[in-house]
Amino acid sequence: MKQFKTESKRILDLMINSIYTNKEIFLRELISNASDAIDKLHFISLTDASVNQNFEIEIKADKEKRTLTISDNGIGMTAEELEKNLGTIAESGTLAFKSKQEEKSELIGQFGVGFYSAFMVANKIEVVSRAYGADTANKWESTGAEGYTITQTEKEGNGTTITLYLRDKDDDFDYDQFLEEYFLRGLVRKYSDYIRYPIVMDVTKSRVKENPDKKEGEQDEYETYTEKTTLNSRVPVWKQKKSEVTEEQYADFYRNKFHDYTAPSKVFHFNIEGGVNYTALLFIPSSAPMDYYQKSYQKGLQLYSNGVLIMDKCEDLLPDCFGFIKGVVDSSDLSLNISRETLQQDRQLRAIATSLEKKIISELKKFMESDRESYDKFFKELGLSIKFGVYNNFGVKKEQLKELILFHSSTENKLVTLHEYVSRMKIDQKYIYYACGDTVEKIDSLPQTELLKDKGYEILYMPDSVDEFVVKTLQTYEEKEFKSAGAKDLGLESELEKEENKNKSEENKEMFDFIRDALDGEVKEVRLSSRLKNNAACLTADGEVSLEMEKVFKAMKTASAFPVKAEKVLELNPDHKLFAKLVALYKDDQETLKKYAKLLYVQSLITEGMEIENPAEFVKLMSEVMAD
Ligand code: ADP
């Protein structure tokens, strides 16, 4: 007897103890596995004429033995595959994310965990499988948590037959219903109607008994007989008319096919004809896949050629920025005996990819226009990916993508588009103002936003590290330049104000330089600020590297030999009470002014959310100054 892998055992326990009440989903799971197995053989059959093409999935209920059998004539499994596939939990990884038992049972409740879900209804399972091309078959047997055995056996033809020995009826649940014809038919129709291979079952029917001696006026006699009947309508969801598919059906299809446990946040279903021909059924998940921003994430769409699956995850169909989209593309243009290698150079496939990308962009725009609330939600989950798309590859896609991105607005206090921002700019406003920081709340309290806010200008708050790169890539939007709230010249001052500031700057030039020197190279310049209202000081940056970028590079911890640093500028507010004090100290007590300079600098670092290199020193200095 072999033991299940630990993780599998835990799942099995859950199944056997059957916390979940929706036990019927096991049938969907087994049928879906059978269909996948036939898909695989179907694909081989495209180049191998010897494959028997009469693909089907058969359901058999035996009321006497109380068994339910699901068989397919798909690709089958070798002994090693039985061991690998059924001895360990599916590697889809869905369950690995959740660690708590309750969460797992909730997950299972939502969409099942494939094969193991059969243990919810059976106390013993037999899997007899013969791999395509093999002469012998193998039998996998298990009564649950104790383990399983694999033995050699005989089987006619390739494929897999799974026999479930149903549990005994108990107070909570009647397992016998899974032996009832009408009930099984209902389940197939409910969950597996779109499966493209016939799901057949012997169905009891009645007919008029033939009676050659029938006399006038005599009643017809009826007899029952059984007939192998196809239970599913076999039209894949994407081939059905949009108007005929309910939201529920789309969601079911999505959850089942793409192993998500929540419904998609948006469905795009369209048919393109003309230069290229294809049907696409695309789904936007309600949240970013767990590993979405990691290297291990594999994007891609299922690719079908006229209903035949040719690739499970065709990466070439999706640009990275839409990598979160799941779905199916079915095209009659693709040649059937295409291989993974030739597919990449396939002209048709490239044409589909180009058309698809355009279509996705226009569908997303429509989504934004028709249901802004849901779009905002979507954008909060996955918008980062689109922002990366704007910036990636030197911005080749920026023109197409810039209408899809949203930023938090200081005046609207919600997400807005760049177009919305520009269309309500003040008449004399020259720039699109933005400010970067860790969170919207923190940005909102940055000193450098004070003047802009005071004058009633809208500011776009940019809390994502990619945001500033997006701005740099776009440079302008509708001919308006982007301007950081910390930029040297915000374009707000009149000539007169500029002149006044210049004079004031010159008056204090020596003190500014003194403070700069006291800071020991930390700042490039100390300057008079025209953007502050209530704060005494703030930090800004000259040059290409902003304070935010310095933070981003620091967080990446790469190339530490040459740290990327912003050219920092300490700005002082001449209208703040403290300014006069600084002037006085410069005259009478330069030693204390040095301390003040350091305190002001560190304070400004704190407001910017930047790292303080020596907090202890700062605290000590602060206490000293307080004690004076
Ligand atoms: P999943 O279907 O999510 O991968 P399952 O636990 O349902 O997880 O199945 C595990 C694996 O066992 C499948 O990926 C497949 O390789 C194999 N398998 C299951 N059922 C069949 C079948 N009827 N024919 C061939 N292989 C199968």
For residue 112, pLDDT over 50 is answered with no
Which pLDDT does position 17 carry in this prediction?
66
- Cβ atoms within 10 A of the Cβ of 480, count? 15
Domain 8-206 sits in which CATH superfamily?
Answer: Histidine kinase-like ATPase, C-terminal domain (3.30.565.10)
Residue 75 Cα to ligand 1 midpoint, Å, equals 11
Residues 470-519 pLDDT 10s: 999 999 999 999 999 988 888 888 888 889 989 999 999 999 999 999 99
Q: What's the whole-number mean pLDDT along residues 80-106?
A: 58
Q: What span, in angstroms and rounded, lies between the C-alpha atoms of 566 and 554? A: 11
Residue 81 Cα to ligand 1 midpoint, Å, equals 9
CA dihedral 413, 417, 418, 421 (to 10 degrees): -40
For residue 540, pLDDT over 70 is answered with yes
Which pLDDT does position 489 carry in this prediction?
83
Contact present, 144 and 16 (Cβ < 8 Å)? yes
Structure-model confidence comparison of residues 193 and 238, the more confident one: 238
For residue 388, pLDDT over 60 is answered with yes
Structure-model confidence comparison of residues 335 and 229, the more confident one: 229
Q: What is the DSSP string of 176-203?
A: GGGG-HHHHHHHHHHHSTT-SS-EEEEE
- The response to whether residue 579 sits with its C-beta less than 6 Å from ligand 1 reads no
Domain spans of the chain, in order of start: 8-206, 237-379, 405-492, 493-628
**What 8-state DSSP symbol labels residue 395?**
H
Which pLDDT does position 104 carry in this prediction?
47
**Fold: same for 8-206 and 237-379:** no
- The response to whether residue 35 sits with its C-beta less than 6 Å from ligand 1 reads no
Contact present, 22 and 109 (Cβ < 8 Å)? yes
Residue 287 Cα to ligand 1 midpoint, Å, equals 26
Q: Which two tokens stand for residue 67?
A: 């068994």
Q: What's the whole-number mean pLDDT along residues 297-312?
A: 86
Indicate which atom in ligand 1 lies nearest the CA of residue 70.
23
Residue 126 Cα to ligand 1 midpoint, Å, equals 14
Residue 323 Cα to ligand 1 midpoint, Å, equals 25
For residue 450, pLDDT over 80 is answered with yes
Q: Which residue has the tokens 């916390």?
A: 19
Work out the pLDDT band at 557, boundaries 50, 70, 90: low
CATH of 493-628, one of 3.40.50.970, 1.10.760.10, 3.40.50.10490, 1.20.120.790: 1.20.120.790
Structure-model confidence comparison of residues 367 and 611, the more confident one: 367
pTM exceeding the 0.95 threshold for the entire prediction: no
**Pocket test residue of 4, 12, 15, 36 for ligand 1, highest count of atoms within 8 A of CB:** 36
Indicate which atom in ligand 1 lies nearest the CA of residue 29.
7
- The response to whether residue 85 sits with its C-beta less than 6 Å from ligand 1 reads yes
- The response to whether residue 92 sits with its C-beta less than 6 Å from ligand 1 reads yes
- The response to whether residue 72 sits with its C-beta less than 6 Å from ligand 1 reads yes
- The response to whether residue 71 sits with its C-beta less than 6 Å from ligand 1 reads no
Residue 99 Cα to ligand 1 midpoint, Å, equals 23
Contact present, 526 and 513 (Cβ < 8 Å)? yes
Give nearest CA residue, ligand 1 atom 20.
Answer: 33
Residues in the chain: 628
Structure-model confidence comparison of residues 88 and 280, the more confident one: 280
- The response to whether residue 74 sits with its C-beta less than 6 Å from ligand 1 reads yes
Q: Which two tokens stand for residue 601?
A: 């600098």
Q: What's the whole-number mean pLDDT along residues 274-291?
A: 93
Give nearest CA residue, ligand 1 atom 7.
Answer: 114
Q: What's the whole-number mean pLDDT along residues 119-129?
A: 94
**Pocket test residue of 4, 7, 80, 85 for ligand 1, highest count of atoms within 8 A of CB:** 85
Q: What's the whole-number mean pLDDT along residues 342-371?
A: 91
Three state DSSP letters for 232-265: CCCCCHHHCCHHHCCHHHHHHHHHHHHCCCCCCC
Q: Which two tokens stand for residue 449?
A: 């936003």
Please give the CATH topology (third level) of the domain spanning 237-379.
Ribosomal Protein S5; domain 2 (3.30.230)
Sign of the torsion formed by the C-alpha atoms of 12, 14, 18 and 21: negative
Q: Which two tokens stand for residue 410?
A: 């200081």
For residue 107, pLDDT over 50 is answered with no
Helix, strand, coil percentages, rounded to 5, for the chain: 40, 20, 35
Q: Which two tokens stand for residue 102?
A: 């309750």
Minimum mean pLDDT among 7-11, 316-320, 571-575: which range?
Answer: 7-11
- The response to whether residue 33 sits with its C-beta less than 6 Å from ligand 1 reads yes
Give nearest CA residue, ligand 1 atom 15.
Answer: 85
Minimum mean pLDDT among 182-196, 369-383, 403-417: which range?
Answer: 182-196
Please give the CATH topology (third level) of the domain spanning 405-492.
Rossmann fold (3.40.50)
Work out the pLDDT band at 260, boundaries 50, 70, 90: confident
- The response to whether residue 159 sits with its C-beta less than 6 Å from ligand 1 reads no
Residues 582-623 pLDDT 10s: 999 999 999 999 999 999 999 999 999 898 989 999 999 999
